[in-house]
Each structure stands twice: as C-alpha cells, then as structure tokens.
Chain A
C-alpha cells in the first residue's frame, strides 16, 4: 500500500520519535510513505487566531500539492495538522465565498480531492489482522491508557471519526498489538495544548490531572497519537515532578512506538530513548521472558 505523507513541523523536530517509529512500523506492515514535496506548515492554532482565510489558505496549499503530486490519500500523524487539513478541505468544499478568498491569498486555484487520514485511521486501513499477524513481542501484561486529546475526535461533524465522548479506535489498535487498554475517564480531556509555552503552569496542572486519572485506573503507560499531547505529558512531566512532589511518574509513548514494540522493532530505532520520561523500565518489566513469541 502507498500513501501520501504530511509529517507536519513537529514530526521533524520535537516529535521526531513519532516520525521514526511510524516509518519503522510501516516498513514491517508493507506501507510505503510518499512525503509531499515541499510541504509547508498547516498553521496549527496560531493561524486560526489570526484570521479564518489564513487558517484555510495554509493547509490549502498542501492539499493542492498533494493533488498535483498525484497523492489520492494522505496521512497526517499530528492531530492538529490532521484537524486543520480536514477542516480546510471542508471549508473549501462547502463554503464558496471562503474558497474564492483563499484562492486570492494563494494566487492560484485550490484543489482538495485527497482523503486525509490520521494515524489511527491509517492503522484501521491497514487492518487489525495485519498488525496481529506481525506481532512478535507479547505485551499482554502492559496496561495502556489511550489518550486521544482534543483534535482527533472534535469537531465530530467535520472530522467524522470515532466518538467524541468515548472513542475506542486506539484501544482497538492497542489490543491488536497484544497490550491491554484500560477503561479511564480522561480520554479526551484537554492537556492545555498550545498554551504549553505561554502558560506552562496551566498545562502542568491539566496534564497532571490526566496522568493521575490514568494511574488511578491502573495504567502502566499512556499512549498518544499527537505530538502536542506527547510534549505536554512527557516533556513537561519533568517539571510536574518538581512542582508537584509526590507525583507518580508515568511514561508516555506514541501509538506507533507501541505498535513498533509489539512488532519486535528495536526500541532505539523507534526513538524510545528520546523521551523525557524513560519508558523502557515499565516496558521491559511488562515484557516477560516467555513473552517473545
């Protein structure tokens, strides 16, 4: 299977493990990624704070590039990029006056035929069966809290993916990888998102609430599918430990890292050594000796 690839700015930098692990996993699962040539930033949350037309124009450029490069489907692992691309496509498709304004900004016609998938949808397309048949490491003792964050499941009428209140698509993938998802209450609660730099204190508080709930429900690790979520829960956890003495540490992994681990890929190749909170201790203790299949 071949699919277009829109990594987004963070997958090149702060979320490098996401990119690395995804590429390793897709190698095993026979998926060829074709990166959109010369893609540019989608604008994330800053663009729609500045203006609606800019917020649609920046993703629109990339949608056109995908069409021009013959890519019928693209996967955008970053939840924010995914959300912006899908929303932009929706606006261009259904709001004629917006499309005209955006074409003025781009100084060219728009084109938005490609289907956009997030990483969970990509795994769904690959199929749980394919993941299952490639599993090499037994993760059945690993309890995983699946954290979706905000932008993967909202706004439901535009994204039309899973359920806004109780999504289960990531749990399906975790189960296909052999691990145990836990039932918990903060699946779609906000971590503070882009307030990370400006209001780090708020992000720490919100992230801690999420992590505490995952621990309360006996999770060993948290799985995420968004670089922002990962950054707030992982990078900021160092400070959370300082600001909240007694905080129970919990590692945070990307869903692609988790799947990669189950597929027997070397953790270093997956980027599992680049986290701020080292997940290897928890992961290793969950993988028993007889676990190698």
Chain B
C-alpha cells in the first residue's frame, strides 16, 4: 500500500473552488452513524448542497457507490480493526482532502475507554465466542494512521460547524472553526457558570467550543465531547476538582468521549485510570 500523498498542513481547508463539482464521499468505521446523520439533519440546506457537489459515496443515504477518487472524504469512526487500518490507508491514496468528523474519528471515541483495559478480558466479557472477534487492542483516531487535512470535533459534530465547513468548501474559502474554551461560549450566551455558582464539575475551561455550551445551558457540567482545546491544562483543573472530590471520581470526569486525546489521557493516567479499570484487573486476575 502506497503511503499518503503529500498532505497539506493539518487543519488546512480546501482553498480553490474547482470548476467541476467536487466529488464527495462519506464513510464510516467504528461509530454510531450520528455524525454522518448530521449531514442529513441539515434539512434546510441539504438539497441546495446536493446541487453543488457530487455525493458519490454515502452508503447510509444513497445506493450510488464509489471506491474513489474523492475530492473531499468525510470519515466517521475510530480505527479499531485490522481491516479498517488497511481501508483507511487505501482511502487516503484516493482522497484529496480527508476530513475526520466526530469524537470517534478525531479522538478514538467512547470505545477508546477499552484502551486502558486488557483486550482479552474485554472480548471475553462481551462475546460468548471471543475467538471470532476481530478487533485491534486499541481504538484509535484516524490521524494515528494517515494524514488528516481537517477535522470537525464533537460527539456528535455540530450542525453549525458542518454547515460552515460545507459553505467554505463550495465557495473555496477557509472555514472559521474556533479553538477557544466552552467558557467563552457560556459568557456570550449569558449562561451563569455552573462551576462557580453551583459547584458542579465542568470541563468547559479545557474543552474546545463548538457545541454552543449546551450542557451548562441545560444545567449540567460540560463533559468534554469536543475534546481538549489547544494547550488545555487538564492537570490544573483535575487538581481543582480534587480539592473536593475523590481521585477515582475526578478520573471519571475526564474519561468520556474524548478520553484518549492527549491532555485527557494524561489526566486520567495521573488519577489511576478510568472507571472500570479496577473491574478489569479483577477479571483478568481471575482468568
């Protein structure tokens, strides 16, 4: 398998509007389909978008199939089987701009929690016949395998960010995707800080915005589904939580949908691992 083509700088969006309609693909690996569903959830724009691009591969939506080439390929899901690792490498060779969508593709997803557990123990817990199960020991983000040109974060991705990305694509400009903390979104929205006013643990200070600060607006703490913002100081936030909360319960705050991303992973490791690890050790000890 040939390596990926010379990749543009990460997070560098497609620039020039091509004279022909761009060939768009949507594919999935280990995931829930929610991020690709977000495309179909652009109810007001879907038909207009479809007139400006050629959707050549999108199994959930159309019986048109294509194995490439793609001008833009949206990739949902984490890489968690050997077959998927081969397929993502192939897709990279036939794709101009590879865009990962959602927490599974960009950070490994909730299924990456198993990365802390013993692989055999996990397989035996879930499958009556674990011998038939084909999975890699780790569930990992796409960028661990191939160069990624742009990413949309979130669990699921935000319809607003997807719309912005698609408009930028068809008009040939760079999309505006902010990298600031959820806290700023709360301030703009006029949401009272749940951490300060109500003492609720909130990952807002270390999490990239994009969701619209939904959780604080609905009276609960941010659970970090857009992943860490740049230079997120998770250790400091963990220490702050730790003043009032036991270490295992601080670990569980970080052990969510983007647990495997660097800053969250470091915080979880420092606190002794995610919930369920104790159980894992107990079980593999029995085996």
On whether the two chains bind one another, the answer is no
* Residues of B that sit less than 8 Å from A by CB: none
